[in-house]
Structure 1
Amino acid sequence: MDQREGVARADTAGLVSRTVRLPDASLSGLLRTLGKPNAVWTAPGEPTVTGYGAAAQVTADGPARFATVRERAGAVFESVDRPADAPVVARPRFLGGFAFHDGHSATAHWAGFPTATFVLPHVQVVTTPEATWLTVNAYGERASVERVEETIASVRERFDPEEHAAGPPPGVVSTARTTGRAEWRRQVEAATARIRAGDLEKVVLAQALDVTLDAPFSLPDALERLGETYPDCFRFAFRPTDGATFFGASPERLVTRDGRELRTGALAATVGRGETPDDDQQLEADLRSSAKYRHEHEVVAERIREQLQGVASNVATGERSVRKLATVQHLFTPITGETDEHVLSLAEALHPTPAVGGLPPDAALDVIRETETFDRGWYAAPVGWFDGAGDGTFAVALRSALARGEHVRPFAGAGIVADSDPDAEWAEVQLKYRPILDVFERTGDATPDAGGGDR
């Protein structure tokens, strides 16, 4: 890596990119055919992108990390040798993410995960309902059309579109909490006291579990199970270092930029799903009518509109609805606008939303740093992709976990406001663990329940 520029490259030469069509393949088939990817991205209404190796990689630290990533990636896109008739959907993209805090230290559980890192894959496979595309990128003085075409031929030889079913869940051997129930009660009560004193309006506090599996983590199996249960969520996996994968299925879009069109939304306030249709409808009615839930949601929606000032015009708020997922349901308000800003600039303006940070933002972040008993790392931070035109999509990395071998650490949080009840917020956090735990559990596994021990 060129440490001065923060760009992994041979030198300052341009980018060579070529695309060919492959036989149609599923995501699980791709992952089992081509090995461990650096990045996987699949989102509602978007193609699935899987990246292997690195034609270029950019990293950044500190408060200027969004602008630094944009500048360093821009240098890679500055000179591109790519046929004019190449399919737009298969264009080169940087994929990666950021840490929640700009002062993130890549140590302990998060070793190998910088404050910001994005990879332009050497081998990029894009799948849509209509086609599967292979794009090979090369960057630096040794990049050439001949070398790119050699890689294309090699991938074609290894490529097998055959479907591969997921194996049985590995099973959960043990779990340990980073925050016990008594400590959680103290945290919530301290936060609500500060809110009542006027220091805060809202703060989002999170927890983590340390889960030991009965077999090593399998990314193809995990993503396949998440896709079956959460097909309308943003599924992702990033592996900036050998041996560790950050993955999840987030319900929350941070922002999409497509040309001048901007799409985001407020997703806040949570209840569970009912065991019967009548129970489910009653929970939905409680979600819609509760003054607490409405306030929690409106705080997020209003703050997002404020955050878009200066980076978007014609900002419009759509009709509020209930977003139903397998284990929870949320209030959701779509927000749209027009912009000429790079998607990274939009992500910077919006992170963190009050749905994962709080209000006022700086005070809430201070409380999070002082209170939480674990390192958030990339949890609840922006993850996604962008291209050379500044288009892209970022999700908020919720319903996520960090996996290393037989060990998985899922994360979950809850928004704390003046009238928050510690027991209700505890139960909400346990519900939010379910998407990850359900990937690994077998019938009869001993996993944390909503009551929870003080471990």
Structure 2
Amino acid sequence: MESTRGDEVAAGEPCVVQGCAIEMPSLRSALELFDAPRTGWVAPTTSVVAGGTTATLTATGACRFEKLRTDARALFRRVDTPDTLPDGARPRLFGGFSFTGTERDTNRTMENEPWAAYPDAHFVLPAVQVSVTSDGTWLTTTALGADAKMKASERLTRWRDRLTAIPEFDRGNPPGVQSQQHTPTLPGWRDGVESVIDRIDRGAVKKIVLAKALSARLDRELSVVDVLARLGESYPGCYRFLFEPAGGATFFGATPERLVSLRGRTVDTEALAGSIGRGETDDEDDWLEQELRKSDKNNHEHDLVVDTIHRQLDSVTDSVETGSRTVRKLSTVQHLQTPIRGTLDGDRHVLELVERLHPTPAVGGLPPVGATRAIEELEGFDRGWYASPVGWMDADGNGTFVVAIRSAVAKATEVRLFAGAGIVSDSNPDEEWDELRLKFRPILDEL
């Protein structure tokens, strides 16, 4: 397989961009062709598969958002993009953040630490990018250095020819699950929920989203590209993502939750909190929906998220509008959902909004600092990039980030899945455990 690897970033070097329209290839097959690092991003407006790296940006610690914002602006000032490329085909940085910026245990080994290749913040400018946009399908290549124009052009010609002749790879069957292990087990989960409720009753916190991990050993090696394709069939309305650093495990998922989109001065986000299962019949499903709509516990949990997003956006917007509360129906679960749109008070970078909004009360809790501290004390495993912001940003500071739930990290025959439940004062540990089983199913069913 021909390498997609590009050039490592060096200070001051120009970055040249080449692009052309192409016939739409199979995105799944294109992703199969690419070497790591590779990226997959499937969204309602633009879908991208990418391979190799021309530039890599990383950051650690509490200032990771600010450092990435500064470094991204500096990089894009050196990027020479043709005016003929439509917006959706222009170079983007793809990547994400860890749930917290606190230093992780360096003694953990690769065998028990799937996040070894995932820093607190990590973004790549791909060497080769295929974008499916409203303006058609485009191939974009990038290169650095004095001969960057020649390298980008050669890369464009080579990959245009390869993608034009790309075959449709046969999709394999699910690998099968040999064994499963929960962290924590049910007794430990009950203890954790009771500890959270005790903290709420004492007034230390209002809500904590407690997560658990499910480690699965597979019968044979996993094709994450196949899983991502099957998730698109089962969850067509979700954002699908795949991040695979060179030599590391693959992080992937199909999330219903967008953290934020920024275009110009228009901010779009939503509150997604409060859950119930799906019915086996239409009548049962309608009954469950009504139970969700009138549930005091779920509406309280949802109100906390809506109110928090408003407060987080108030100081940077001229106006914030809240849409009607609806029910978002997915294959295994339905959620309360409220769209929120704001108009910024000036020009801002999408990462500034990401920093303000993460973690939302739907994946962290309230107040954020106290909830995050409790999560680290109670969960017993490293969330890594689970429930964190992942997405893209461009040269104008626009971008889209989602909350990386309904996700897993995989390498060879080992997969670790994650799911969380919002715990408030009247939460029932066994009911929350059952809810988590529903949230594991999107990934587990595909294994």
Please indicate, yes or no, whether the TM-score normalized by the shorter chain is above 0.5: yes
Q: After superposition, where does 1:335-414 map in structure 2 within 5 Å?
A: 335-339=340-344, 340-414=347-421
Q: After superposition, where does 1:247-326 map in structure 2 within 5 Å?
A: 247-326=252-331
Q: Take 1:86 and 1:436, find their aligned partners in 2: how far apart are those partners?
A: 36
Correspondence for 2:431? 424
Correspondence for 1:146? 150
Q: Take 1:309 and 1:240, find their aligned partners in 2: how far apart are those partners?
A: 37
Correspondence for 1:26? 26
Shift in Å at residue 216 of structure 1?
A: 1.1
State which of 234, 242, 245 in structure 2 corresponds to 1:229. Answer: 234
Q: Take 2:118 and 2:37, find their aligned partners in 1: how far apart are those partners?
A: 15
Aligned to 1:153, the other structure's residue is in SS state: helix
Q: Any conservation in 1 of the 2:130–2:140 contact (CA below 8 Å)?
A: yes
Aligned to 2:174, the other structure's residue is in SS state: coil
Shift in Å at residue 37 of structure 1?
A: 5.2
Aligned residue identity for 2:371: A
Correspondence for 2:444? 437
Aligned residue identity for 2:130: V
Aligned to 2:245, the other structure's residue is in SS state: strand
RMSD of the alignment, in Å? 1.5
Q: 1:198 to 1:89 in 2, by over 3 A?
A: same
Q: Any conservation in 2 of the 1:273–1:326 contact (CA below 8 Å)?
A: yes
Correspondence for 1:38? 38
Aligned residue identity for 1:341: R
Aligned residue identity for 2:149: V
Aligned residue identity for 2:161: E
Shift in Å at residue 252 of structure 1?
A: 0.3
Q: Any conservation in 1 of the 2:258–2:270 contact (CA below 8 Å)?
A: yes
Shift in Å at residue 49 of structure 1?
A: 1.2
Aligned to 1:166, the other structure's residue is in SS state: coil
Shift in Å at residue 303 of structure 1?
A: 0.5
Shift in Å at residue 28 of structure 1?
A: 1.2
Q: What are structure 1's unaligned runs of at least 5 residues? A: 1-6, 441-455
Correspondence for 1:332? 337
Q: What are structure 2's unaligned runs of at least 5 residues? A: 1-6
Q: Would you identify which runs of 4 or more consecutive aligned residues in structure 1 move more than 6 Å?
A: none
Q: Any conservation in 2 of the 1:31–1:37 contact (CA below 8 Å)?
A: no
Q: 1:285-331 deviations in whole A, cap 9, x for unaligned?
A: 00000111110100111001111122222111000000000000000
Correspondence for 1:446? none
Correspondence for 2:4? none
Q: Take 2:381 and 2:307, find their aligned partners in 1: how far apart are those partners?
A: 30
TM-score, length-scaled by structure 1: 0.92
Higher mean C-alpha deviation, range 159-168 or range 311-320: 159-168
Q: Take 1:104 and 1:135, find their aligned partners in 2: how far apart are those partners?
A: 36
Aligned residue identity for 1:144: A
Aligned to 1:133, the other structure's residue is in SS state: strand
Q: Take 2:328 and 2:50, find their aligned partners in 1: how far apart are those partners?
A: 30
Aligned residue identity for 1:349: R
Shift in Å at residue 22 of structure 1?
A: 1.7
State which of 208, 214, 222 in structure 2 corresponds to 1:217. Answer: 222
Shift in Å at residue 43 of structure 1?
A: 1.1
Correspondence for 1:99? 98
Q: 1:104 to 1:285 in 2, by over 3 A?
A: farther
TM-score, length-scaled by structure 2: 0.94
Correspondence for 1:110? 115
